[in-house]
Amino acid sequence: MATKNQRIHTVEPFIWELSAPGRVGASIPEADVPEYPLPGEIPLRTDLPLPEVSELEVVRHFTRLSRLNFSIDTHMYPLGSCTMKYNPKVNDAAASLPGFSEVHPLLPEDLCQGSLELLYRLQRALETLSGFTAVSLQPAAGAHGELAGVLMIRAYHLDRGDTKRTRILIPDSAHGTNPASVSMAGFTAEQIPSDKRGNVDLSILRQRCDDTVAGLMITNPNTLGLFEENIEEVTGIVHEAGGLVYGDGANFNALLGYLRPADVGIDVMHFNLHKTFSTPHGGGGPGAGPVGANARLAPYLPGPIVRSIGSETIRSNGRKRTEGAFQGHGSRYTLFYPEKSIGRVKAFYGNFGILVRAFAYILQMGGDGLRAVAEHAVLNANYLKHLIGNRYRIPYSRPCMHEFVATGDIAPGIHTMDVAKRLLDYGFHPPTVYFPLIVKEALMIEPTETESRQTIEAFADALLRIAEEAATSPELLHEAPHDTPVGRLDEVRAAREPILNRRQTEKLEGTR
Ligand SMILES: *Cc1c(COP(=O)(O)O)cnc(C)c1O
């Protein structure tokens, strides 16, 4: 590890090491107004160790750093459950239009009708795709949408005076954010095991459902990449017990145009716009996790939501009428809070720039295009599964949806982490590893629809070659990656003793 760190240290100097006293990267014109000394009470710090560098050094430094990264624009990124599809540049072009990028969040409604119309039409598009009655664009991420949805379920039960319901059931294949959201909302998370086919175990679900169950959170397709075959029975059992069903919509990419979650009994669900709808994500954001609900839960949605009001109707009789048709002209857009709204979960209107990108994507694809997205995502995953299926164990072998789970224990002494790290040498971002938790040595692969057949075959080829190496020269895997700027890191130590700033690196240097 020490040698690898020395390597980055010499090849990639920290910006502080480029610093020379008096060097500047900015030229500020002479002041054309009189100078005034700052009032004495403003604390001016002079002890900040800021680097003194020229503009060119800054440009080179950050451009070089950016090229050390893996990104969807440079490499295939088959990170399971994350839907790392290509982010079309037209999305960014749309979000950069001055009418969108320069609009101030405090503008009165009359001066931002165009932006409100976009939000309204995005809400309508998500309603159409999901079958829900209403959508709120407020939440900033999938996990944030989960929290909003679980708070809505809580508000619904409390509203009816039903205070006994404190438990929320979650299948054991669920994403970690599900139990976290449940606890944050004040409920107890309870795990439901999966059966041999990877579905929710119906008999156990039945046993656990009673009048203390507030609801169930379910991901479909689940994180094994499998369609929940008994979804209608699952939602039926929960409803019969008086509970509600939260859909984790992170895997909606597989269903676009084929299944509307509301039709199979999901009451409330989030959409990950940064997954399914091609807006950029990674490194913690930015994202957007709008939440949609059926008629029962729509009154509890977070606000504000955009609605359209027929302007003609207002003018003639002063009465407001909610416009049912999906149309822009002749309407006025205004913000409102649903009747029993849980309130705000985000400042202003959600992550507006991301919402513009998602809407641009939806318009670009159109209904047929979105359906084709689901088809190709599922086709690509099944093709890849077929290509590697002889060398990698696939614990649940029925046809998959947009992703599948293999295992990385391909030879004695070889672990999933070894396969993942070796893939970096072949120019591929590794799949998701050690998740879902119910598969030992899990390698969760989601190719997405945007990869070509050639790329998928090249990726399969790399996995097959790694399986070969695992048998013949396992040290190649144990010591991987070999060709990256940083070698195999001590991940345990990184988690326990994170080094987050320049001063702390001295601590690291001291231990070399
Ligand atoms: C990504 C993901 C989430 C969380 O979404 P974020 O936008 O990352 O907060 C939840 N569930 C599943 C299944 C996911 O894949």
**Tens digits of per-residue pLDDT, 443-486?**
999 999 999 999 999 999 999 999 999 999 999 999 999 988 88
Q: Is 130 in the pocket of ligand 1 (CB under 6 A)?
A: no
pLDDT tens string 227-286 = 999 999 999 999 999 999 999 999 999 999 999 999 999 999 999 999 999 998 876 668
Stretch 75-100: mean pLDDT: 96
Q: Is 247 in the pocket of ligand 1 (CB under 6 A)?
A: no
The atom number, within ligand 1, closest to the CA of 174 reads: 13
Query: What residue's CA is closest to ligand 1, atom 14?
Result: 250
pLDDT tens string 479-492 = 999 988 889 988 89
The atom number, within ligand 1, closest to the CA of 287 reads: 7
Q: Is 287 in the pocket of ligand 1 (CB under 6 A)?
A: yes
Domain ranges, ordered by start, for the chain: 91-360, 367-496
> If you average pLDDT over every residue of the chain, what do you get?
91
pLDDT tens string 352-373 = 999 999 999 999 999 999 999 9
Cβ(487)–Cβ(421) under 8 Å? no
First-to-last alpha carbon distance for the chain, in angstroms, is 9
| Prediction pTM value | 0.89
CA of 173 to the centre of ligand 1 (A): 13
* Residue from 77, 79, 81 to probe ligand 1 pocket by mutation (most atoms less than 8 Å from CB): 81
Q: Is 272 in the pocket of ligand 1 (CB under 6 A)?
A: yes
* Residue from 82, 170, 272 to probe ligand 1 pocket by mutation (most atoms less than 8 Å from CB): 272
pLDDT tens string 279-329 = 988 766 689 999 999 999 999 999 999 999 875 444 444 444 444 444 445
Closest to 265 measured CA to CA, from 304, 215, 195, 204: 215
pLDDT tens string 419-451 = 999 999 999 999 999 999 999 999 999 999 999
User: Cis (ω within 30 of 0) for the bond into 498?
Assistant: no
* Residues across the chain: 512
Cα four-point dihedral sign 474, 479, 480, 482: negative
The atom number, within ligand 1, closest to the CA of 223 reads: 13
Q: What are phi and psi of 451, to 5 degrees?
A: -85, 140
Fold (topology level) of 91-360: Aspartate Aminotransferase; domain 2 (3.40.640)
The atom number, within ligand 1, closest to the CA of 146 reads: 10
Closest to 3 measured CA to CA, from 479, 495, 498, 432: 479
The atom number, within ligand 1, closest to the CA of 272 reads: 7
Query: What pLDDT, on a 0 to 100 scale, did the predictor assign at position 502?
Result: 65
Q: What is the largest CA-CA distance in the chain?
A: 82
- Which tokens go with 19? 């610093």
Q: Is 446 in the pocket of ligand 1 (CB under 6 A)?
A: no
Query: What residue's CA is closest to ligand 1, atom 3?
Result: 142
For domain 367-496, say whether CATH 3.90.1150.10 is its number: yes
Q: Is 142 in the pocket of ligand 1 (CB under 6 A)?
A: yes
pLDDT tens string 52-85 = 999 999 999 888 888 888 889 999 999 999 999 9
pLDDT at 1 over 50: no
- Which tokens go with 420? 């993942």
Burial of 120 (0-12, 13-18, 19+ CB in 10 A): buried
